[in-house]
């Protein structure tokens, strides 16, 4: 699959039809599924109709937009007109169809992008694994015996497998950055609240954000411009870098630490305040808000939930409100302290995940020398950044042939996405980051 920018340029110039691009994407997805378990629905009729509209605009001499004819997919919690929004759950399989597209989907369509599929996720976005009781476990394209990460695992997997150049997910505590790291693609969690959440099934509103996936830095910058409706790059002055220390240098892959120290040599190592407490508070707020959201459904049909998700939601629903409010108050203090600490810097570097993708038949990881569930703890390095509300771009490391992917987080000040994208573009051009992985080994993938 050709990149988003190149595809759009060819379609706008009339060298390639949007219909041809859509048909090729649909064929690739159909060949890869159900082996990869990344797709929950193929939107053939919509894709061909949207592609026809793009081709008609080109024929009429109109510019169909910066993503003209670019096929993409969305995590199965975005409203898609005419379809029930299930959030990966059988409970809402027969829900009333959405009357309108989610705002992020509307912006993509207005830019000429062609929606071709809905994508697998952890039920209600509660997990870092994309182990879904209804749709199955999404397999990592680089090793089908391993997890793709979650909860936006289907979105990451289709980009990693080169089935689609772009996909949309959502990130609450790391649900874009974790699967991006484990599958070797770029994944952006923007400043909290920077992108519209209208039409996206919520998990925990305190942290939920729309986040895109792309295979390279240029395509990520392009889709960010479309979603954010922002134009123009960051300034050209040298980027001010720092490394995150403390807990962010614990439980990290040696290649991550080596890359961080090479990219930001001789820069300060910052210790953010109360990181362990921040992660605990993030867990508490997430559990409380998720449990409260699903309280009525749990009371009426608890056994219809994925058991692993149900138990965590019930636990959240039982939390006392006073404890939740205490965590919210701590968050305000934490924000102020973090903002002051990072104010002199444009880009902070930290690991995205503590390790490469765990095996599906052994979904555990080691944190502080102890085995813990991957589904709950792969976000150890992303969750505190969500708690701080900061933008974070997961970028893949260049690794030796045959090595599993793993990524870094480039973290910025609030509203600092342009600096993160500038850093990624520069380092990718220098060969310091970027997946450059071969087409994965699942049969049919990459066709």
Which residues participate in catalysis according to the annotation? 75, 151, 175
> Are 82 and 38 in contact, with CB atoms under 8 Å apart?
no
Q: How far is CA 218 from CA 223, 225, 346, in A?
A: 9, 11, 19
The span from the CA of 316 to the CA of 320, in Å, is 9
DSSP helix/strand/coil, 349: strand
Rounded to a whole number of angstroms, the CA Rg of the chain reads: 20
Q: How far is CA 397 from CA 47, 258, 356, 417, in A?
A: 33, 11, 11, 19
> Are 118 and 73 in contact, with CB atoms under 8 Å apart?
yes
The encoded tokens of residue 87 equal: 């959030």
Residue 236 phi, psi (nearest 5): -100, 5
Q: Which residue has the tokens 């056994």?
A: 303
**Four-point Cα dihedral 135, 136, 141, 147, nearest 10:** 130
The span from the CA of 186 to the CA of 394, in Å, is 5
The encoded tokens of residue 197 equal: 């959440």
DSSP string, 197-251: -TTB--S-TTT-EEEEEESSHHHHHHHHHHHHT--S---SSPP-EEEE-GGGGSS
The span from the CA of 99 to the CA of 81, in Å, is 5
């Amino acid at each position: 699959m050709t990149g988003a920018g190149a595809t759009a340029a060819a379609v706008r110039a009339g060298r390639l039809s949007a219909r041809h691009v859509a048909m090729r994407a649909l064929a690739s997805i159909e060949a890869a599924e159900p082996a990869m378990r990344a797709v929950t629905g193929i939107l053939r009729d919509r894709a061909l109709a949207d592609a026809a509209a793009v081709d008609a605009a080109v024929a009429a001499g109109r510019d169909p937009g910066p993503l003209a004819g670019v096929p993409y997919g969305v995590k199965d919690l975005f409203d898609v007109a005419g379809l029930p929004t299930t959030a990966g759950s059988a409970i809402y399989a027969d829900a009333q169809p959405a009357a309108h597209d989610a705002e992020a989907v509307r912006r993509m369509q207005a830019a000429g992008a062609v929606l071709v599929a809905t994508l697998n996720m952890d039920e209600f976005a509660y997990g870092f694994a994309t182990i879904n009781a209804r749709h199955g476990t999404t397999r990592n394209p680089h090793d089908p015996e391993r997890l793709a990460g979650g909860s936006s695992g289907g979105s990451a997997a289709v980009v990693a497998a080169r089935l689609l150049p772009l996909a949309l997910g959502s990130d609450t505590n790391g649900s874009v950055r974790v699967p991006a790291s484990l599958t070797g693609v770029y994944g952006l969690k923007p400043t909290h609240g920077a992108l519209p959440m209208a039409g996206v099934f919520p998990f925990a509103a305190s942290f939920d954000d729309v986040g895109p996936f792309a295979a390279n830095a240029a395509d990520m910058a392009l889709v960010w411009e479309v979603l954010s409706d922002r134009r123009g790059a960051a300034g050209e002055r040298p980027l001010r870098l720092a490394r995150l220390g403390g807990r962010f240098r614990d439980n990290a892959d040696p290649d991550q630490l080596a890359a961080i120290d090479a990219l930001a040599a001789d820069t300060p190592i910052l210790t953010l305040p109360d990181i362990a407490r921040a992660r605990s508070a993030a867990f508490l707020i997430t559990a409380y808000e998720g449990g409260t959201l699903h309280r009525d459904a749990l009371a009426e049909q608890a056994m219809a939930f994925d058991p692993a998700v149900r138990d965590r939601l019930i636990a959240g629903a039982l939390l006392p409100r006073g404890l939740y409010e205490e965590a919210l108050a701590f968050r305000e203090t934490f924000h102020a302290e973090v903002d002051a600490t990072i104010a002199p810097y444009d880009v902070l570097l930290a690991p995205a995940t503590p390790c490469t993708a765990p095996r599906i038949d052994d979904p555990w990881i080691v944190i502080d020398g102890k085995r813990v569930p991957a589904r709950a703890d792969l976000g150890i390095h992303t969750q505190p950044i969500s708690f701080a509300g900061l933008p974070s771009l997961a970028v893949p490391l260049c690794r030796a042939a045959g090595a599993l992917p793993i990524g870094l987080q480039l973290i910025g000040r609030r509203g600092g996405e342009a600096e993160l994208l500038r850093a990624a573009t520069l380092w990718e051009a220098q060969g310091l980051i970027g997946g450059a992985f071969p087409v994965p080994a699942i049969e049919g993938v990459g066709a």
